[in-house]
Chains A and B, each alone.
Chain A
Amino acid sequence: MSRVNTVLGPVAAEELGVVAVHEHIGYGMPGSELDSRWWKTPEERYEETVPKLRRFHEHGRPYGGGTFVDATGICNGRDVDYYRSLSTKTGVHIVACTGFVGGDTALPFFSRASVEYLADQFVHEITVGIGGTGARAGVIKVGVSRGGRMTDLDKRIYRAAARAALSTGVPVLTHLAIDAENAIAIFREEALPLDRVLFGHADDGVNAAKTRDTWIAEQGGRVGFDTFGYETELDDPPFWARPRKERLEHFLRFVERHPGSALASADANCSPLGWPGVKGHTVNYIFEDLMPDLRAAGVDEATITRLFVDDPADFLSIHD
């Protein structure tokens, strides 16, 4: 039986529908909760978030549903009780993660921890639950700290994630795919098959040129084109924005050469927690912009279904 941990419990992978594989209900760097400039009332949070998820759910109907993978790390404002209420009220499947966006988002308690402790933390959140919520994590988040190279702490987290992925069967999702040689060396040492790893943000404006996407695919890894919508054409683009056409062509080239290795997402925040966010950019970019762009470029429906339904279902399924 293929199953995926959502915040409301395991569901069959066949039920996921269209998967937005790298998104955020709300993301903030650790400590941003101390800065009240970002605070919003729960009323505002729901008001900003629910319509986006409801729309996502409606878009997903023809595919049998919609699944939102929240890639917000343990210390980045992950709020599983809130996700559960959102999922219940909107019908969107929400998959929460364990792990950290990068070593530089792991707070001191975890930055001092051993590989063994970190692995225990991840396994517990995957098999028992996150805090007192009872919800189990469905993916493990890891990532490269700011600066372009994996730090020692990043490496400890990758190693712990590999061990937890191997023992629980859930996949690993990375923030950034730069310095992939070091990452892949760790996954190989731990004997984690590389198709259980989605090397993310291979498409962003800062890192695309530094990311060995083809090489990663050749090693057997999956490659995430998951910052769709962060475009230089926006009124106020973030520093990782990229020209829309350039990203799309990059994606199309890659999918043609490596069918089955690519997954796509928008990395949008429904309601950002510790940064302004990007106005108008939502998870629905996938349906409202990306899919039309793909169709206009001649991508057929079977490929679209594969990209957004079948391959992510295979990736997210717990591999016992």
Chain B
Amino acid sequence: MTLSSSADNPHVNTVLGPVPPDELGVVAIHETLLSVVPGAEHAFDLAVDRAQVFESVAAKLRDFREQGGGTVVDSSGMFHGRDVPLYEALSRSTGVHVVASTGMGPEGMLGGYFLTPQTNPPTPWPAERFADLFALELTAGMVVPRVERRGTAGLVATAATRSGMTATDESLFRGAAHAAVSTGTPLSIRYGNDAVSDLEVACTAGLPAGRVVVGGLDRADAVASAAALEVARRGAYVGVDHVGAQDDVHVADAERVALVIQLVEAGFGNRVLLSSSATGVAVGHPGNDVPFAAVLATFVPLLRAHGLGDDDVRQILVDNPAGLLSVRPPDRA
């Protein structure tokens, strides 16, 4: 359902309009429906069959729903394949709520418009300009480039360069945080090489840590440095969001379970978010074959086997994301 007076009620912005937070159900907080490396749309050898893309993503969303899922958050921002009309049709067709995001990053994924503008010297964009760009997607609607704006982004998403936050990444973080603060929208960050310090950058624009999810905290380096605990201690949400990943960068699910149990036992069950960073369809990069339902189908049973009860599971899958995604009007943030 949609609300007649969204500004006066707690709500989450989905691609089909505002939805009461308690209607989201189980939320996958960091996924991508369509993931396109910027520029790949021009590749001579990559033909994208839009009907086929729809069918593939719809099948994955239906599977998610059948396994008990309610909402998928597309957290890859405005410049990595986001396709608002497609997402609307997918949500309508499958009954899964879809939350789309604004934002960009890291620096290496930006277009030259932001990095070497037609000015002398070609100074990269400052935070204020990113803030304005992202805020428009939260107030006037998400761009269908050069055609129209539609819907409202439900999240601001950005990321830092893996080897460490660059000056432009910092502008992105500050701009994203400013847009989040001014509109009451949550912020999702992917850290570079220091999760805690990147969180501090995100919070310098006056954004409370409680409005931020730090993603990728199941990366091996984050687990080694116990970053998740410190992030939770500071009040931010902990994104354990590569469930099902089998690669050299992230820990395996067994260690991921241990990480979640550790957080819950330390009293941070209200800060944990789970997701799988699945790519519904990937263009221009390999993507992955992880289902949107990976958390529900394989990871939750592991958590239960390690002693997590229904209340804990519900808190992590339903209540925590609803709290994060609820738009907080700035005057009562």
B111 at the interface (CB under 8 A from A): yes
Contact with B along A147-160 (1 / 0, CB 8 A): 10000000000000
Residue contact A121 to B116, C-beta cutoff 8 Å: no
Residue contact A104 to B146, C-beta cutoff 8 Å: no
A238 to B120, CA, bound (A): 9
A111 to B112, CA, bound (A): 11
Contact with A along B146-172 (1 / 0, CB 8 A): 100100000000000000000000000
Interface of A is mostly: loop
Give the residue name and chain of the B residue nearest to A29 (CB): B113
A239 to B123, CA, bound (A): 14
Residue contact B136 to A74, C-beta cutoff 8 Å: no
Residue contact A145 to B113, C-beta cutoff 8 Å: no
With beta carbons under 8 angstroms apart, the residue of A104, A108, A131 that contacts B37 is A108
- The winner among B38, B45, B119 for most chain A CB atoms within 10 A is B38
Interface residues of B in 67-121 (CB under 8 A from A): 78-79, 108-121
Interface residues of A in 224-251 (CB under 8 A from B): 238-240
A110 to B149, CA, bound (A): 28
B284 at the interface (CB under 8 A from A): yes
Residue contact B145 to A33, C-beta cutoff 8 Å: yes
B42 at the interface (CB under 8 A from A): yes
B261 at the interface (CB under 8 A from A): no
Give the residue name and chain of the B residue nearest to A40 (CB): B146
- On whether A106 and B39 interact (CB within 8 A), knowing A35-B113, A35-B133, the answer reads yes
Q: What is the minimal beta-carbon distance from B82 to any residue of chain A, in angstroms?
A: 10
Residue contact A109 to B112, C-beta cutoff 8 Å: no
A239 to B118, CA, bound (A): 9
Q: What is the minimal beta-carbon distance from A34 to any residue of chain B, in angstroms?
A: 6
Contact with A along B20-63 (1 / 0, CB 8 A): 00000000000000000111101111000000000000000000
Q: What is the minimal beta-carbon distance from B68 to any residue of chain A, in angstroms?
A: 36
Q: What is the minimal beta-carbon distance from B131 to any residue of chain A, in angstroms?
A: 13
A280 at the interface (CB under 8 A from B): no
- Residues of A within 8 A of B (CB-CB), count: 36
B217 at the interface (CB under 8 A from A): no
Contacts of A108 in B (CB 8 A): 37-39, 108-109
Contacts of B110 in A (CB 8 A): 31
A74 to B111, CA, bound (A): 13
Interface residues of A in 114-135 (CB under 8 A from B): 120-121, 124-125, 128, 131
Give the residue name and chain of the B residue nearest to A124 (CB): B44
- On whether A30 and B118 interact (CB within 8 A), knowing A109-B37, A109-B40, A109-B43, the answer reads no
Contacts of B114 in A (CB 8 A): 31
B245 at the interface (CB under 8 A from A): no
- On whether A146 and B116 interact (CB within 8 A), knowing A29-B111, A31-B111, A36-B143, the answer reads yes
A273 to B111, CA, bound (A): 14
Residue contact B143 to A107, C-beta cutoff 8 Å: no
B267 at the interface (CB under 8 A from A): no
A105 at the interface (CB under 8 A from B): yes
Contacts of A74 in B (CB 8 A): 39, 42
Contacts of A121 in B (CB 8 A): 43-44
Contacts of A206 in B (CB 8 A): 120
- The winner among A36, A105, A275 for most chain B CB atoms within 10 A is A36
Contacts of A33 in B (CB 8 A): 143, 145-146
With beta carbons under 8 angstroms apart, the residue of A34, A39, A104, A147 that contacts B112 is A104
Residue contact A30 to B113, C-beta cutoff 8 Å: yes
Interface residues of A in 264-285 (CB under 8 A from B): 273-275
- On whether A36 and B111 interact (CB within 8 A), knowing A29-B117, A108-B38, the answer reads no
B122 at the interface (CB under 8 A from A): yes
A146 to B113, CA, bound (A): 12
Contacts of A238 in B (CB 8 A): 118
A126 to B53, CA, bound (A): 28
Contacts of A29 in B (CB 8 A): 111-113, 116-118
A32 to B122, CA, bound (A): 15
Contacts of B111 in A (CB 8 A): 29-32, 34, 75, 107
A31 to B116, CA, bound (A): 11
Contacts of A138 in B (CB 8 A): none
Residue contact B117 to A239, C-beta cutoff 8 Å: no
- On whether A239 and B143 interact (CB within 8 A), knowing A121-B43, A274-B113, the answer reads no
Residue contact A104 to B113, C-beta cutoff 8 Å: no
Contacts of B140 in A (CB 8 A): 36
A166 to B113, CA, bound (A): 32
Residue contact A34 to B78, C-beta cutoff 8 Å: yes
Q: What is the minimal beta-carbon distance from B149 to any residue of chain A, in angstroms?
A: 7
Q: What is the minimal beta-carbon distance from B311 to any residue of chain A, in angstroms?
A: 42
Give the residue name and chain of the B residue nearest to A125 (CB): B44
Contacts of B120 in A (CB 8 A): 206, 239-240
Give the residue name and chain of the B residue nearest to A131 (CB): B42
With beta carbons under 8 angstroms apart, the residue of A32, A110, A147 that contacts B113 is A32
With beta carbons under 8 angstroms apart, the residue of A75, A240, A275 that contacts B42 is A75
Contacts of A60 in B (CB 8 A): none
A240 to B108, CA, bound (A): 27
Q: What is the minimal beta-carbon distance from B88 to any residue of chain A, in angstroms?
A: 19
Pick 27 A–B contacts, CB within 8 A, sort by A: A29-B113, A29-B118, A30-B38, A30-B111, A31-B110, A32-B111, A32-B113, A33-B145, A33-B146, A34-B111, A34-B133, A34-B145, A104-B112, A107-B38, A107-B111, A108-B108, A109-B38, A109-B43, A111-B39, A120-B44, A124-B44, A128-B44, A145-B116, A146-B121, A239-B119, A239-B120, A240-B120
Beyond contacts A35-B133, A104-B116, A109-B38: 19 other A-B pairs, Cβ-Cβ < 8 A, are A29-B116, A30-B113, A32-B111, A34-B145, A36-B143, A104-B112, A105-B112, A107-B39, A108-B37, A108-B38, A108-B109, A109-B39, A109-B40, A109-B284, A110-B39, A120-B45, A124-B45, A239-B119, A275-B118
Q: Which 5 A-B pairs have the closest CB atoms?
A: A31-B111, A107-B39, A109-B39, A30-B111, A31-B113
